[in-house]
């Protein structure tokens, strides 16, 4: 029997429509939309809560990673000019104050010292001669003053006797002449004594000048040995034997080992919380692994708003990657009792944390 004969006359069922699956798909979309909105609201709420907690936390502590380690740079410049004959240190060597750094050829300065000693000896040898001449002039003056006194007495006596007509006019004239000669001799002796005294004072000044010149040359001779003025490492040593040391031109630098400090740039809204002596904590990128106790030494009371202004006033850039920031004020922080073997590096980064 053929298949067409079996199905002939039987009712054919209509095909089923997908209405129910379509309704279920709409409900799923609504649920997914609600879930997405709930997720977005949760994220926004979490962000708002985080921002609120962060702003509230600024009333209790301040943190910045815009901090760095610094110290004082001591520029070593010779105070005399001369060829360098010895360099006693090497680059990055740790020094103690007073350590010998560089030696300048001392021979020209030693010769100058000897010349000044000879000049000083000559000036000093003249003083006894001047003193003797002064004493001789003073003795002559005393003698002239005595002669003047005697002549005055003789003139007064002759004048009295002449008025009584006891002596003649010639005797009075002789007494008058003797008085005038005695006065002239006294004036000459006074002038000689003044000249001798002036000569002595002049040569005493010459001795002082020679002594000052000797002191200056001794000072220059002592400056042929340049010594470290502070503890710390030598930085960027470029000096070599044979170089010419030029007066007042820096030739090497030392990082002061007792002036280490941290400058942390904090937002200006934190400044009313800070005061000198407040405890701070420091994380050093150059010595990681530990927070170090420190304290606020002080806050800068002025910053420059002009990047091109002279460097006497600190300038803190208000932008980072084209983002405008609030103004930041440098805060000086010093470590408290750092480990004696701690190695600090000038210019390295740091992070600081301050509880109010």
**Which tens digit of pLDDT belongs to each residue from 301-315?**
888 888 777 678 888
Low-confidence ranges of the chain (pLDDT < 50): 1-9, 19-20
pLDDT at 239: 93
DSSP class of 285 = T
pLDDT at 1: 42
Identify whether residues 234 and 351 lie together within a single domain: yes
CB hemisphere CA count around 169 (13 angstroms): 0
Boundary (domain end) residue, out of 162, 194, 222: 222
Number of domains composing the chain: 2
pLDDT at 15: 53
Does 267 map to a domain?
Answer: yes
Identify whether residues 126 and 174 lie together within a single domain: yes
What is the extent of the structural domain holding 123?
107-222
- What is the rounded CA–CA span in Å between residue 131 and residue 122? 15
The 10 Å Cβ neighbour count of residue 285 is 14
Identify whether residues 140 and 238 lie together within a single domain: no
Tokens 């009313």 -> residue:
272
Does 10 map to a domain?
Answer: no
pLDDT at 348: 94
- What is the rounded CA–CA span in Å between residue 296 and residue 228? 30
Per the DSSP assignment, residues forming a β-bridge with 225 are 103
pLDDT at 24: 54
Identify whether residues 340 and 241 lie together within a single domain: yes
pLDDT at 100: 96
Identify whether residues 342 and 232 lie together within a single domain: yes
Identify whether residues 65 and 175 lie together within a single domain: no
- What is the rounded CA–CA span in Å between residue 261 and residue 264? 10
Identify whether residues 302 and 156 lie together within a single domain: no
Identify whether residues 155 and 67 lie together within a single domain: no
pLDDT at 29: 72
Boundary (domain end) residue, out of 158, 189, 222: 222
Boundary (domain end) residue, out of 195, 222, 249: 222
Crossing angle of helices 169-222 and 107-163, rounded to 10° = 170
pLDDT at 167: 63
Identify whether residues 285 and 186 lie together within a single domain: no
Does 19 map to a domain?
Answer: no
Identify whether residues 192 and 253 lie together within a single domain: no
Q: Looking at the whole model, is its pTM more than 0.85?
A: no
- What is the rounded CA–CA span in Å between residue 283 and residue 67? 10
């Amino acid at each position: 029997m053929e298949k067409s004969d079996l199905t002939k006359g039987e009712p054919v069922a209509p095909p089923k429509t997908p209405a129910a699956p379509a309704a279920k798909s709409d409900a799923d979309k609504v649920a997914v939309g609600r879930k997405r909105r709930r997720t977005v609201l949760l994220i926004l709420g979490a962000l708002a809560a985080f921002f609120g907690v962060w702003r509230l936390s600024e009333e209790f502590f301040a943190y910045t990673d815009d901090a760095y380690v610094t110290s004082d740079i001591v520029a070593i410049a010779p105070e005399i000019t001369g060829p360098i004959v010895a360099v006693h240190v090497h680059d990055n060597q740790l020094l103690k104050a007073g350590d010998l750094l560089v030696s300048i050829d001392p021979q020209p300065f030693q010769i100058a010292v000897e010349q000044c000693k000879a000049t000083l000896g000559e000036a000093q040898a003249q003083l006894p001669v001047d003193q003797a001449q002064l004493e001789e002039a003073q003795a002559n003056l005393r003698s002239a003053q005595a002669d003047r006194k005697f002549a005055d007495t003789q003139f007064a006596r002759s004048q009295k006797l002449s008025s009584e007509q006891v002596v003649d006019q010639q005797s009075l004239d002789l007494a008058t002449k003797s008085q005038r000669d005695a006065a002239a001799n006294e004036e000459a002796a006074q002038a000689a004594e003044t000249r001798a005294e002036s000569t002595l004072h002049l040569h005493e000044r010459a001795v002082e000048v020679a002594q000052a010149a000797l002191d200056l040359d001794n000072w220059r001779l002592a400056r042929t040995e340049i010594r470290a003025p502070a503890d710390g490492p030598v930085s960027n040593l470029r000096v070599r034997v044979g170089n010419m040391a030029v007066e007042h031109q820096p030739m090497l630098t030392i990082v002061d080992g007792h002036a280490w400090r941290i400058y942390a740039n904090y937002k200006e809204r934190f400044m009313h919380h800070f005061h000198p002596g407040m405890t701070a904590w420091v994380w050093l990128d150059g010595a990681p692994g530990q927070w170090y106790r420190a304290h606020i030494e002080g806050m800068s009371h002025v910053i420059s708003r002009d990047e091109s202004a002279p460097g006497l006033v600190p300038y803190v850039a208000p932008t980072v990657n084209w983002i405008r920031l609030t103004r930041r004020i440098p805060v000086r922080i010093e470590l408290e009792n750092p480990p004696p073997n701690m190695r600090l590096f000038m210019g390295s980064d740091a992070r600081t944390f301050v509880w109010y």
